[in-house]
């Protein structure tokens, strides 16, 4: 979302191009940018213990999602509700699997 130079070069088999994990309190949030036979997507998973919730966004709506989320960030900042200034974010290596012929 913030890195406009990131391409979606995905092999024929699809898969995850980029992944990030954010740890917050007792939860982990996984952000997986990838593709499948139905198109390109961002999958956001929330994991708490053995519970998992997932939303999948087509890349065509990412800008709208970013704008809406940004509005909530602005509101929480203006109300002094922001969290730690340095969140615990870990970038996971790309899982892009291309077959080398």
The predicted-structure confidence for 40-77, as pLDDT tens digits, reads as follows 999 999 999 999 999 999 999 999 999 999 999 999 88
What is the distance in angstroms between the CA of the first residue and the CA of the last residue of the chain?
32
Give yes or no for residue 2 having a pLDDT over 90: no
Which residues fall within 8 angstroms of residue 52, CB to CB, at 6 or more apart?
45, 46
> What distance in Å separates the CA atoms of residue 51 and residue 97, rounded to the nearest whole number?
28
Name 27's bridge partners.
24
More confident residue, 88 or 74: 74
**Quick one: pLDDT band at residue 87, thresholds 50, 70, 90?**
low
pLDDT at 26: 86
> What distance in Å separates the CA atoms of residue 60 and residue 24, rounded to the nearest whole number?
28
- pTM, whole model, 2 decimals? 0.68
Domains of the chain: 15-82 (3.10.450.700)
Average pLDDT over residues 14-28: 88
14, HSE (Cβ side, Cα atoms, 13 Å): 10
Q: How many helices (H) and strands (E) does the chain have?
A: 1, 5
pLDDT at 24: 85
């Amino acid at each position: 979302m913030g890195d406009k130079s990131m391409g979606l070069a995905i092999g024929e088999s699809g898969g995850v191009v980029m992944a990030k994990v954010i740890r917050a309190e007792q939860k982990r949030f996984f952000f997986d940018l990838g593709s499948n036979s139905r198109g390109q997507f961002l999958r956001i998973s929330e994991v708490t213990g053995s519970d998992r919730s997932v939303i999948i966004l087509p890349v065509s709506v990412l800008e709208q999602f970013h704008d809406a989320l940004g509005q909530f960030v602005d509101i929480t900042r203006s109300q002094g509700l922001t969290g730690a200034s340095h969140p615990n974010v870990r970038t996971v290596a790309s899982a892009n699997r291309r077959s080398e012929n």
